[in-house]
Structures are given as C-alpha cells and as structure tokens.
Amino acid sequence: AQSVTQLGSHVSVSEGALVLLRCNYSSSVPPYLFWYVQYPNQGLQLLLKYTSAATLVKGINGFEAEFKKSETSFHLTKPSAHMSDAAEYFCAVSSLLGYSTLTFGKGTMLLVSP
C-alpha cells in the first residue's frame, strides 16, 4: 500500500523567510508525487508534480520540490514566503489504481506572519 506522511500539522514562518514543508512517502512501485495547495473554501490546486523526469521540480508561485529516492522524501520549498502563501498544503502519491487516483497526506497548514 502507498502512504504519505507530512511532518508538522502547522508550520509558521515570517514573511520573506524560507518555507520548508516536509513529505515522506511509501510506495512499492516508482511513484508519481504531487503537492497541492488548498485555500479556505476552495478545492485543491496543483503546485507541482514529479513523474520520474528531473528530480528537482519547479512549480507555480515560486515553489519547488526535490525527489530523493534514498530518503523517500519529496519536500516542498520556497525561498521567500509571501503572505498570500498562507494556506494548507497536501503532499500526495499516485496509487496503484492509476495516475489520477491519489493518496494524500494529512496536510500542513502554513502560517505566514508579517
């Protein structure tokens, strides 16, 4: 079975500081990995995805993530946080059922203070 663990249910940063959201996965097959963002009262928006090409993936809004097979990790980073980045972030892995069926982590709420 596939699973995702997100370390830290809440992460607080100051505006302009580095953002680091941690994700570790478990998969019996080479995974596809995703980061999604969810703003209040909205659905999920794809930030970036890893599909076995380059291990450093760049996404929207200045976010990027690095796939590290040896550490089974796919951490999300952004060099400088903006107030508008405050939201909940979900890491997900594609399931054995198919590319579009995802197993999500429990999410990390990013809080950005001025």
Partner 1 sequence: ETGVTQSPTHLIKTRGQQVTLRCSSQSGHNTVSWYQQALGQGPQFIFQYYREEENGRGNFPPRFSGLQFPNYSSELNVNALELDDSALYLCASSFSTGGNEKLFFGSGTQLSVL
Footprint on this chain of partner 1 (rule: CB under 8 A): 4, 9, 41-46, 51, 90, 92, 95, 97-107
CB of 103 to partner 1, least distance (A): 7
| Closest to partner 1 by CB, 17 or 44 | 44
CB of 34 to partner 1, least distance (A): 9
| Closest to partner 1 by CB, 18 or 97 | 97
Gap between the Cα atoms of 54 and 57, Å rounded: 7
- Alpha carbon of 36 to those of 28, 48, 96: distances in Å? 22, 7, 19
CB count within 10 Å of CB 106 equals 11
| Closest to partner 1 by CB, 17 or 24 | 24
**Which tokens go with 60?**
């929207």
**Which tokens go with 42?**
């909205």
